[in-house]
C-alpha cells in the first residue's frame, strides 16, 4: 500500500497510535481520550524468585532476578514478586507450565483467591485457597487432580495471584 492510500485510510498523520505518540491533540488543541504518553505508567522491574509448582509442591529458590512486568498487571501495587509455574494443576484457570505469575504479599487472603502456599516451610505450590472448620484446602484447577486439606499451622501463604505472563 502506498503513502497516499495510507493517508486516505488513516488521515494525514497515519494511525491513531501515531497521534497518541505525538501527544494526542486534535485541531482544537484538546487531548483525545487516549491521553498522552506522559501519563503512562511504565513497566516495573520485579524480583523473580524461582519456580512454583502447579502440581506436586516444589522446594522454593531463594534467589531474586529482575523481571519486567507491564503496568496492566502491576497497577502500581506494592510487595509484588514473580514465580515461574511448573506443572499443570491450574490449567482450568489458563495457568500453564512455564507461565510467569505475579503475586502480591498480603496479610489477609479470601476464600477463592489463587495463592502460593508454602507447605511445612519447605514446598511451594500455586492453588485456590479455601479455609473452613476442617482446615486449609489447596484446590487444583485440573479435573484430574483432587483438593488437599491441611492443618492451618502447616500452611504459610506467600502471596496472592494478581497476574499471569506468558511467552509465545
CATH number at residue 52: 2.10.109.10
Contact indicator for 145, 79 with CB cutoff of 8 Å = no
Q: Are residues 71 and 98 in the same domain?
A: yes
**Total domain count, the chain:** 2
User: 23: domain range?
Assistant: 3-39
Contact 101, 49 (CB under 8 A): no
**pLDDT average, residue stretch 105-131:** 94
Return the residue matching grid coordinates 489463587.
114
pLDDT in tens, 60-80: 455 667 778 887 777 777 888
Check: pTM over 0.75? Answer yes or no: no
Residues 98 and 32 in one domain: no
- Tell me which residue of 126, 149, 127, 147 sits closest to 136, measured CA to CA: 149
Query: Is the separation of the CB atoms in 138 and 126 below 8 Å?
Result: no
Q: Which of 32, 33, 38, 89 is catalytic?
A: 89
User: Same domain for 35 and 73?
Assistant: no
Q: Is 89 a catalytic residue?
A: yes
41 with 71: CB under 8 angstroms? yes
Select which of 32, 127, 133, 146 is catalytic: 127
Cα distance between the two ends of the chain? 29
Residues 69, 94, single domain; the answer is: yes
Domain shared by 56 and 123, yes or no: yes
Q: Do 128 and 61 fall within a single domain?
A: yes
Amino acid at each position: 500500500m502506498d503513502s497516499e492510500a495510507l493517508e486516505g485510510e488513516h488521515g494525514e498523520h497515519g494511525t491513531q497510535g501515531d497521534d497518541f505518540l505525538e501527544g494526542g491533540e486534535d485541531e482544537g488543541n484538546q487531548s483525545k481520550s487516549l491521553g498522552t504518553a506522559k501519563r503512562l505508567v511504565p513497566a516495573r522491574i520485579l524480583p523473580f524468585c524461582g519456580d512454583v509448582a502447579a502440581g506436586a509442591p516444589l522446594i522454593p529458590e531463594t534467589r531474586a532476578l529482575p523481571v519486567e512486568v507491564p503496568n496492566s498487571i502491576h497497577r502500581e501495587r506494592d510487595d509484588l514478586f514473580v514465580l515461574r509455574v511448573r506443572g499443570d494443576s491450574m490449567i482450568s484457570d489458563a495457568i500453564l507450565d512455564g507461565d510467569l505469575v505475579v503475586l502480591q504479599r498480603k496479610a489477609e487472603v479470601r476464600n477463592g483467591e489463587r495463592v502460593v502456599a508454602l507447605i511445612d516451610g519447605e514446598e511451594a505450590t500455586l492453588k485456590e485457597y479455601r479455609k473452613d472448620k476442617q482446615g486449609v484446602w489447596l484446590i487444583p484447577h485440573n479435573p484430574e487432580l483432587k483438593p488437599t486439606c491441611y492443618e492451618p499451622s502447616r500452611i504459610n501463604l506467600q502471596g496472592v495471584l494478581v497476574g499471569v505472563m506468558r511467552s509465545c
